[in-house]
Amino acid sequence: MVADSTKRGFGQDLFTLVRTYRQHTDPLLEDFPAGPRGFYVMVAVEESGPRNQQALACSVGIDRTVMTYTLDALQQAGLTERLVDPDDRRARLITLTAKGRQALHRTRAELDQAESEFLSPLTATERQALTSLLQRAASATDE
């Protein structure tokens, strides 16, 4: 018996969408140090500029211990570095290296292509509407 798709809840649809999205994008991130987590940490560093590890962990929603392992992997790969914070010499600021910026931009281009394929059933107007609604909902959770 086939389930009536009109009776599915928001959570089930969102789960299905995320699962399918990850099937399209995770293969592009599996060689990244620390996988998708490492990629999204680098995105956060690029968007916010140099930040200390605690602030970065808080903004990405990663436990401090997990963040340490993630940053260790990224640094070992030469994608990030920890610099002394000029305002607090005990703290370290996380920055991207030139190699890290190149890897991030290359991976973003690959993800853009995968996302375009993933969203191909939608019109350009529908894609824009979906993106706007997702951004609005996501920013509301950050508050």
Q: What domain range includes position 133? A: 24-140
Assigned domain for 67 exists: yes
pTM of the complete model: 0.82
Assigned domain for 132 exists: yes
41 in helix, strand or coil?
helix
Interval 28-54 mean pLDDT: 93
Is 44 in contact with 30 (CB distance < 8 Å)? no
Residues 77-126 pLDDT 10s? 999 999 998 988 888 999 999 999 999 999 999 999 999 999 999 999 99
133: amino acid identity, one letter: L
| CATH label of the domain that carries residue 76 | 1.10.10.10
Degrees (nearest 5) of the Cα angle 130, 41, 59?
75
Write out the two tokens for 54. 């605690």
Assigned domain for 5 exists: no
pLDDT the model gives residue 88: 87
16: amino acid identity, one letter: T
Structural domain total, the chain: 1
Considering the chain, what is the average pLDDT of its residues? 91
Residues 42-70 pLDDT 10s? 999 999 999 999 999 998 999 989 999 99
